[in-house]
A and B are shown apart, each in its own frame.
Chain A
Amino acid sequence: MESSLVYFKDLFSKGATRNSKVRQTPVSPFWVMVRKETGDHIRSWRFIVMLMLVVLTFLGSMYVSVGNISKAVNNMKDPDRLFVYLKLLTTSDGTLPTFHIFISFLGPLLGIALGFDAVNAEQNNGTLTRLMAQPVYRDNVLLAKFCGALLVVSILFLSLVLLMIGGGLIITGVPVEAVELLRILAFIVLSIIYVGFWLSLAICLSVCFRHAATSALTVIGIWLFFTVFYQIIVNLVVNAMLPDLGYLQPEEMLSYNNLLLSLLRLAPSQLYTDAATTLLMPSVRSLGPLTVEQMAGAIPSPLPFKESLMIVWPQITGLLAATMVCFALTYYLFMRREIRT
């Protein structure tokens, strides 16, 4: 119990203990709250359950990809075949989805689990009033909740991937290339942003609704809508608008295709999968359809990291913007609210 708090004590107050001859400057309330939130998450059952799920899917997809890695690396048609570690993350024989597809499903769940009762549970327990009576800024409370959960998620993802690289080193004996490491780290940052979006949505709803169950159901509803129904609805709508395919000019066809893609990209999971695929498969050159003219003369070779990053920049911006919007809304709802039990 106490021990987990003690771990973090050193983590955050290192600067303060170093010059202990001078009077210790107290840790700012914000970091105190972050520390407490992080400790709470690590000890909570719900995080342990989510952790097991993520670790299991990770091990599952790694098992499948390690089994198929030699096939993938020897596949001469694939320009990416030499990126062994990227292949580890993206290879599958079809029995199990790859890790980033799993994360596109589980990431939201992780974010929701860590955030759905952030504010209303405190309010129902009567601790929020007590917390608000302390000399802390309200926005710090929200930000600490967000950062605490995100810190836990970041550490989880980072350690998983570092484990993967370590395991890969032992199994294959191939050294990691800098580009691979960069791409994998970028993928991790992307995954954290993605979870961050769902986390901030969950926190927002936990401010809106007084009951934890209501906010949990609502945010799960939103998640289900985007993962299951949204694609169906978009396909229906675009099909209804689409004239007979036989009479379409190629340009019109292209524009309809782009419209379909843009609509699909309103879903955060679509943004995430697009960006993750591009980052993990260096040969992906565009996320939209390319015409034959555009492809003419292109050599099927992996893109440099910077180019891949340029391709996914809109996706990353979109996810960040969505996160910000949720957070700003939370802020707006929470700042001037009267808090009583």
Chain B
Amino acid sequence: MDAIILQILNGLDKGSAYALIALGLTLIFGTLGVVNFAHGALFMIGAFCAVTLSRILTFSHTVIDETKKDFLGNPLKVEVPYIYDIFGQATGDVIIDWAVPISILFAIPVMVAIGFAMERGLIKHFYKRPHADQILVTFGLAIVLQEIIKYFYGANPIPTPAPAAFTGSFDFGAMLGFDPNTIIYPYWRLVYFAFAAVIIGAVFAFLQFTTFGMVVRAGMADRETVGLLGINIDKRFTIMFGIAAAVAGLAGVMYTPINSPNYHMGMDFLVLSFVVVVVGGMGSLSGAVLAGFLLGVLESFASMAVVLETLPGINQIIIYLVAIIILLTRPRGLMGRKGVMED
């Protein structure tokens, strides 16, 4: 029982990341009709927003310390962050420690701008082209973005820790009456799950309860009619692209303490997120979220040692296996609507 609760918890944070990326993918697909293979790259760029901000915060000048020696025996050059000079060391350390949460503020404008640039600069030229062309061009874009990041940040993962207040883990086992240590869960992953829930809730609320959201939903249902009513739906869809990019970027920012970001982290999530979208049902936002969590939890279960002993290798195929079963029984996915991508 405790093992099952543990794996459900585990699936939740992975599911959160899948759900956030898949939500953005579905938003773009539902509004613009584009299958955006560069969405994983947006997740990765979000993560590098956090890396960049921590670098900016620790931007330093060198002070030569004559009392210490470096590896070649020369006087040691000590790096002193400028932020120490501005706020003093104590406050400076707190700000540097909280770099990841602060990056949220930094990432939103950056990601929205990148989203706008991508949509206006490249993707809009592919609306009338077949899906295969869109896939090729966005996939190519993903590789370009990835190589740019590698050029500036290198290929190795870059540690970007969570604030010290969130290190360690919470003992659910002790709380639920199991033996202590049996169900432990890191604080930051709980934060990630809560953060994802807030973002998902905010996106739904935005679409449901604002006039802008209502127009977008109307546009998703019948683009031509909305256009005939004199509404510039294209402009709104561009804004939605920016929002989708920001959602993926924020998912990336908050993910950095979980796994040190590297240039190919986006690709690792991209394929799975597409499976999530398809399982959830193309164009269905709630389907994407549901399937994200479902597949996240299933993947966790499949990695349990007991399961692996009976079915070796199941951890690597479980998601695809479930996808096949769901598509065979419900060809439109869990919550897919009729007529999406069926023309």
Q: Do A and B come from one complex?
A: no
